[in-house]
């Protein structure tokens, strides 16, 4: 007898695909075989399912064949434990009149339902198909965030069977909404002494979602400024929240309760796969986990060249295509890239306290690590000088707190969202080249000034475009309608981390 109507899911990137579970039981020696391109976790499900059914008093006999259709799509993980168990119950005659529904969950040996990854993509699939979704209770929190889906949860397989047979009412998952709650800020700009230019650059980066490079000696405050940047970013919108939920759910990560934007720090020892995504199951990497938030690469010059070059396309395009022999998937990667680096190999070039020991050749060789296509994609390149002990002690009181800066950033973002909504964009950094030429027009004075400075700084076409985008953000922060010469001059000032364009 076939378990028709029992649907599970498998994941392909961030997309949930329906899997129909068909079960046939025939005579002969006891054996369970699973076909349909299952991975190791799916093949091992037969032992978990067998023990879970025995906990309900159902002992399986005969030869059992489980087919996971369509057969040409790889099936992975423990998501199919629950639909396989229900399919076996239907085939054994222990469960009748099974409603057509989408089910997912991992089974413990005693019949408990454990959480699985991919609950948010599954909820979107259930809504698309117009089917109810049954999930473990631990997954109910993330499913509740998807509006318009009919979902139910249970703690055990027995509890779910009673609900499916109508003996007990099913436990519905009520819709939920993540409010915009004030988040506790770990690093506040008010606690950072001095560094006025670097703080201003961080504000501009947050307002327009511009990439940022901080260059300075050890102890100058580069990492502190990068971490404080998260506290001035605007909250995630509903659409952005769904995008981040999909990525985190795909990896089975905990769903955060607020609307704070992601902040991912990558160590220079990280592999290209861990940053860009991939592996046998084509999972998203750090650049996708930081989508709509910050990707922070500290000690940038220590990263391998192949890894930094692989970031060029996702930084520019806002998405990354992960391709392997078994297929390819596309993940979003609209990140605010923040890089931190020392000014030279010893770390003290231009330092007011410690003398640099690098030769001219070593200095030039070190700078070449930061030049090229990646640097052309960095809108703001800032030198962060280390303060002397006298300067640190001379600062009295506190500087502007993050809360006040955040209000300005949110106001500027709203201006941008209103301006670019007809193009489907949310911030100035996302503007394609054709819109830069069409919408960011300058008066004659500003155009002549930019042309003169572009020649002096040897800016490329992409560099010019990014100067215009940063100028537009500076004007938005000032609440001004047009870009003027002062805005362009300030934007050009943020291209001098190494005194070169």
The answer to whether 163 touches 171, Cβ cutoff 8 Å, is: yes
List the structure tokens of 464: 């010019």
Place of tokens 């102890």: 219
pLDDT at 495: 80
Distance between CA 320 and CA 162 in Å, rounded?
44
- Diameter over CA atoms, the chain: 89
Nearest to 67 by CA among 75, 58, 59: 75
pLDDT at 181: 66
β partners of residue 69: 20
pLDDT at 501: 35
Kindly give the pairing relationship between strand 263-266 and strand 294-297: parallel
Distance between CA 359 and CA 223 in Å, rounded?
27
3-class DSSP assignment, residue 383: strand
Q: What is the Cβ-side half-sphere exposure of residue 65, based on CA atoms within 13 angstroms? A: 10
Place of tokens 């209000």: 407
Crossing angle (nearest 10°) for helices 196-208 and 402-420: 30
Distance between CA 319 and CA 207 in Å, rounded?
21
**pLDDT tens-digit profile, the chain (501 residues):** 344 568 999 998 899 999 999 999 998 889 999 999 999 999 999 999 999 999 999 998 999 999 999 998 989 889 999 999 999 999 998 888 778 889 999 999 999 999 999 999 999 999 999 999 999 999 999 999 999 999 999 999 999 999 888 888 889 999 888 777 666 777 888 888 878 899 999 999 999 999 999 998 888 889 999 999 999 999 998 889 989 999 999 998 888 778 889 999 999 999 999 999 887 778 899 999 999 999 999 999 999 988 998 998 899 889 999 887 777 889 999 999 999 999 888 888 888 778 898 988 888 888 887 766 788 889 999 998 887 676 666 665 567 899 999 999 999 999 999 999 999 899 999 998 888 878 887 888 888 898 888 888 778 788 888 999 999 999 999 999 889 999 999 999 998 655 443
CA 84 centroid distance within chain: 32
Distance between CA 120 and CA 103 in Å, rounded?
13
Nearest to 105 by CA among 45, 182, 165: 45
**Left, alpha or beta for 62 (phi > 0: left; psi -120 to 50: alpha)?**
left
For residue 37, CA distances in Å to 73, 82, 91, 118 come to 7, 18, 21, 19
The answer to whether 143 touches 135, Cβ cutoff 8 Å, is: yes
β partners of residue 171: 153
Order of strands, sheet of 212-215, starting from the edge strand that comes earlier in the sequence = 263-266, 294-297, 336-341, 212-215, 380-383
pLDDT at 391: 64
The pTM (predicted TM-score) of the whole model is 0.88
Cβ neighbours for 274, distance < 8 A, ≥ 6 positions apart: 285, 286
pLDDT at 183: 67
3-class DSSP assignment, residue 369: coil
The burial of 318, by beta-carbon neighbours within 10 Å (0-12 exposed, 13-18 middle, 19 or more buried), is given as middle
pLDDT at 182: 63
pLDDT at 192: 84
Distance between CA 143 and CA 9 in Å, rounded?
15
pLDDT at 477: 95
Distance between CA 277 and CA 283 in Å, rounded?
6
Distance between CA 239 and CA 101 in Å, rounded?
27
**Left, alpha or beta for 291 (phi > 0: left; psi -120 to 50: alpha)?**
beta
């Amino acid at each position: 007898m076939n378990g028709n109507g029992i649907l599970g899911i498998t994941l392909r990137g961030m997309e949930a695909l329906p899997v129909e579970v068909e079960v046939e039981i025939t005579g002969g020696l006891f054996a369970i075989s699973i076909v349909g391109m299952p991975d190791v976790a799916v093949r091992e499900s037969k032992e978990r399912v067998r023990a879970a059914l025995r906990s309900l008093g159902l002992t399986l006999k005969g030869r059992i064949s489980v087919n996971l259709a369509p057969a040409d799509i790889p099936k992975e993980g423990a998501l199919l434990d629950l639909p396989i168990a229900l399919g076996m119950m239907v085939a054994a005659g222990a469960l009748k009149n099974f409603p057509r529904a989408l089910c997912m969950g991992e089974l413990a040996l005693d019949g408990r339902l454990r959480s699985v990854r991919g609950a948010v993509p599954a909820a979107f699939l259930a809504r698309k198909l117009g089917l109810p979704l049954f999930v473990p209770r631990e997954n109910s929190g993330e499913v509740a965030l998807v509006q318009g889906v009919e979902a139910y949860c249970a703690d055990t397989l027995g509890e779910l069977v009673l609900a499916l047979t109508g003996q007990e009412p099913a436990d519905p998952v009520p819709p939920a909404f993540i409010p915009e709650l004030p988040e506790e800020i770990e690093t506040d700009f008010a606690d950072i002494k001095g560094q006025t230019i670097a703080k201003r650059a961080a504000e501009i980066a947050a307002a327009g979602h511009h990439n940022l490079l901080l260059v300075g000696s050890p102890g100058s405050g580069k990492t502190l400024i990068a971490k404080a940047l998260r506290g001035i970013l605007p909250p995630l919108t509903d659409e952005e929240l769904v995008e981040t939920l999909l990525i985190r759910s795909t990896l089975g990560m905990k769903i955060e309760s607020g609307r704070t934007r992601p902040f991912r720090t990558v160590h220079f020892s990280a592999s290209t796969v861990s940053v860009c995504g991939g592996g046998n199951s084509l999972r998203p990497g750090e650049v996708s986990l930081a989508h709509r938030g910050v990707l922070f690469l500290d000690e940038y010059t220590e990263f391998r060249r192949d890894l930094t070059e692989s970031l060029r396309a996702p930084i520019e395009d806002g998405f990354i295509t992960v391709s392997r022999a078994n297929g390819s998937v596309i993940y979003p990667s609209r990140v605010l890239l923040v890089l931190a680096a020392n000014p030279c190999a010893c770390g003290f070039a231009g330092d007011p306290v410690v003398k640099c020991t690098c030769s001219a050749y070593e200095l030039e060789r070190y700078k070449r690590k930061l030049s090229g296509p990646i640097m052309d994609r960095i809108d703001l390149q800032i030198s962060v000088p280390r303060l002397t002990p006298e300067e640190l002690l001379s600062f009295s009181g506190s500087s502007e707190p993050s809360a006040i800066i955040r209000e300005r950033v949110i106001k500027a973002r709203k201006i941008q969202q209103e301006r670019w909504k007809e193009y489907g964009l949310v911030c100035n950094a996302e503007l394609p080249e054709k819109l830069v030429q069409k919408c960011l027009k300058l008066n004659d004075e500003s155009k002549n000034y930019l042309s003169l400075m572009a020649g002096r700084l040897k800016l490329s076409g992409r560099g010019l475009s990014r100067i215009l985008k940063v100028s537009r953000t500076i004007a938005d922060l000032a609440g001004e309608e047009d870009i003027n010469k002062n805005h362009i001059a300030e934007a050009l000032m943020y291209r001098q981390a190494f005194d070169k364009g």
